[in-house]
Amino acid sequence: MVGEINSGTDGLSSGRCFLFRLQQNGSVANQTILSNGIGGLPANTLQEDMRFGASGASLGDLDEDGLVDVVVGAPSHYYDAASRGSIYVLFLHGNDTVKEVSRVSQAAGQGLDNLPVTLT
């Protein structure tokens, strides 16, 4: 996974993510771009300058469908005039497009404040 935080396909510079599936020899077998309305990410999910893709990690198979799921950080996601950050848990289809999105942030009621940029 590679993030491009000052870019986007929506004209908002909201950020985007590239998912790469590799072959055994290390060459790229498949590439999926995730941005507003692309790669299964619903349109209007991302806000301007939120830096979606600043961090990311594989989470294993959270929904037990046999496929790897991922988390993507957006440290500048804002609400109520404050930039507090969010993380997006992305449940994936077999073709690496997004099946379902779950946002975790203080605004979503999880009580988080100033989420870190780096996820481990």
Tens digits of per-residue pLDDT, 30-88? 999 999 899 999 988 888 888 888 999 999 999 999 999 999 988 876 666 565 778 89
What is the model's pTM?
Answer: 0.80
The CA–CA distances, whole Å, from 57 to 47, 49, 110, 112 equal 21, 21, 20, 19
Taking the CA atoms of residue 91, residue 112, residue 35 and residue 3 in that order, the dihedral angle to the nearest 10 degrees is -100
Asked if the model's pLDDT at residue 118 lies above 90, the reply is no
Average pLDDT over residues 14-27: 92
Centroid of chain to Cα 52? 6
Tens digits of per-residue pLDDT, 62-74? 999 999 999 998 8
Average pLDDT over the chain, rounded to an integer: 82
pLDDT value for 50: 82
Angle at 14 between CA 34 and CA 81, to 5 degrees: 135
- Top mean-pLDDT range of 17-21, 80-84, 114-118: 17-21
Q: Determine what percent of the chain is predicted with pLDDT higher than 70.
A: 78
